[in-house]
Amino acid sequence: MSKSEHPPRKVYLPLKDLDKCAVCDQSTNLRLCSSCGERIYCSSECQKQDWSAHKLACGKTDRIDLGMFYPVLAILVEQCHMHQEKPIHPALRHAIVNKPNPNAVPFSFPDGSSAKLVVLGDEIPLNQMGSRNWWPSAATDKVRGKLSRRFIREGYLLPILTSVCLGLLAEMYTTTSGSGSKERRTRLRYNSQPIADFGIACGSARVTSQDRFAYYYLCDETLVKGQDPDDHYWLYFTTVRGQEFTLDCGMFTFNMCYMLVTQGYLSLEESLAIPFAPAFFRDKIIQKNTPQLHRERKRFSVLRDPTLQEAVVHTQEGLSPANLSRICAFVKRVSGRQCTQTEEHLLGTYTMHSCAKIGAVLTSGRWKQFPAAPMTAIEGDPGELDDIDDSSQQWWDHLQKWKKLKKEGKFGDQTVRDAYLNWEREYEKTSATKKANKKGPR
């Protein structure tokens, strides 16, 4: 398509707050127009006086409740994790040689932090990811499958959330209506209150060491910590009256498996491919009855960021290098570091994906058939507290001793892999003896 077919769009911001009457500038007893939520009055008299001007746009606003629409955003996050452009997690491309089952005890780093250890061996073919060959010692097939899904959803959370917000900005907040226009404006609300702002919050999430990962590569003796809950990101929304809501779609890797059912939001074929999407929407009821999940440090508006508004006005043609640079600069402000080349590529890909999906939902009116409230489910870990397994910590302690003796020349050409296999054989013998002793003589 040529640029002439798609002139630059314009972002139309919603009300920021209830500040003053549109007619008399009074700042008390304020209320919104109940039909569109886009005009403020202090009295019915002022509303009647303004009607001749306001009626040209009033009634042409589709106000979509956030509680009904947030599943679209959660599904977009899930689709980004599943996207073919996202790099495959290294732990899915190497065989797991230890037993990071749900009952495995986390091991301790020298810096005092703890995580569940995943020991990675040889690389495996792509068609064996998630199979028995990938992780032979999994307690069950269900446990094996869940671990693979946790790895799939690890990483690139900030680029994904940024892209989803940009899709919302580009497709919903460039719509408008006015005199002679056949178009309808779409806006988010929560109950009767318009959403005044949305964006990305960063801080820390409450995660136990049992639910964190660390990866040890036998090939080069590299130890890598997994996704850091102290460098966590989620979405925030505020209403014109100052109410706040959050949506966290990044906790599945940390074993917080609060899911929504995608049926009703996707086609049958799509929902079969993605039946569930991780999402924890902290609405008014959740806020009253549960403790805080996050400790917020900063937040960054996407809706009201002028550089991002400029970046999305041409998304109908794609993202130019200049506009992609604007988005990368925003991500740098949020994270405090430069985007990698992979992150930059994903930002462009994911943003266009989010624009296409949200645009299709809005223009087709499919959102009108969405469930009033999403169905949710929780995917738990079977046997997490049964038969506690501390092998990861024992292996780590053994490895530190082995390294010292190796430096002293007591193990010759023995590799870390050889050391692990020898240790594993001894550990299995010891475990079998303990189990036999517990059972006693028959």
pLDDT tens digits for 183-200?
788 999 999 899 999 999
Q: Residue 435: its pLDDT value, please?
A: 60
Rounded CA-CA distance 224/203 in Å is 21
Identify the residue with better confidence: 106 or 355.
Answer: 355
pLDDT band at 265 (very low <50, low <70, confident <90, very high): very high
Confidence check: pLDDT of 432 > 70: no
Burial of 5 (0-12, 13-18, 19+ CB in 10 A): exposed
With a CB cutoff of 8 Å and minimum separation 6, the contacts of 204 are 229, 230, 231, 232, 294, 295, 297
With 80 as the cut, is the pLDDT of residue 434 above it?
no
> What is the mean predicted confidence (pLDDT) over 356-368?
94
| Whole-number pLDDT of residue 386 | 45
Q: Looking up tokens 């069950």, which residue turns up?
A: 140
Return the pLDDT at 3: 45
Q: What is the pTM of this model?
A: 0.86
Mean local confidence (pLDDT), 425-441:
66
Summary count for the chain: helices (H), strands (E): 12, 17
Please, are residues 230 and 336 in contact by the beta-carbon 8 Å criterion? no
Q: pLDDT at residue 116 above 50?
A: yes
Residue 126 C-alpha from the chain's centroid: 25
CB contact set of 394 (below 8 Å; sequence gap of 6+)? 427
Q: Is the pLDDT confidence value at 1 over 80?
A: no
> What is the pLDDT at residue 372?
87
What does the block give as tokens for 182? 């056949």
pLDDT value of position 158:
98
SS3 content of the chain, % helix, strand, coil (to 5): 40, 20, 40
Phi, psi of 286, deg, nearest 5: -60, -40
| Euclidean distance between CA atoms 409 and 406, whole angstroms | 5
* Alpha-carbon distance values, 180 to 35, 60, 363 (Å): 19, 11, 19
pLDDT at 402 over 80: no
Question: Which two three-digit tokens encode residue 206?
Answer: 């409450």
**pLDDT given for residue 409 in this prediction:** 83
Percent of the chain with pLDDT over 70: 91
3-state secondary structure of 438: helix
pLDDT digits (tens, 9 = 90+) for 370-390: 998 899 988 876 554 444 455
User: Rounded to whole angstroms, how far apart are CA atoms 421 and 414?
Assistant: 11
pLDDT given for residue 262 in this prediction:
94
DSSP tag of 127: G
**Following DSSP, what letter does each residue of 38-91 receive, concatenated?**
--EESSHHHHHHHHHHHTTTTT-EEEEEHHHHHHHHHHHHHHHHH-TTSPPPHH
Proportion of the chain above pLDDT 90, given as a percent? 66
DSSP type of residue 198: E
User: What's the pLDDT score for residue 385?
Assistant: 40
Among 204-208, 328-332, 390-394, name the one with the lowest average pLDDT.
390-394
Mean pLDDT of 92-116: 90
What tokens does 276 get?
């569930």
283 φ, ψ to 5°?
A: -90, -170
pLDDT grade, residue 149 (50/70/90)?
very high
Mean per-residue pLDDT of the chain: 89
Q: Give the pairing of strands 61-65 and 185-190.
A: parallel
What does the pLDDT read at residue 4?
46
Assess whether pLDDT exceeds 70 at residue 213.
yes
Residue 390: the pLDDT is 59
Mean pLDDT of 38-52: 92
pLDDT-derived band at 268 (thresholds 50, 70, 90) equals: confident
What number of other Cβ atoms are within 10 A of residue 124's Cβ? 17
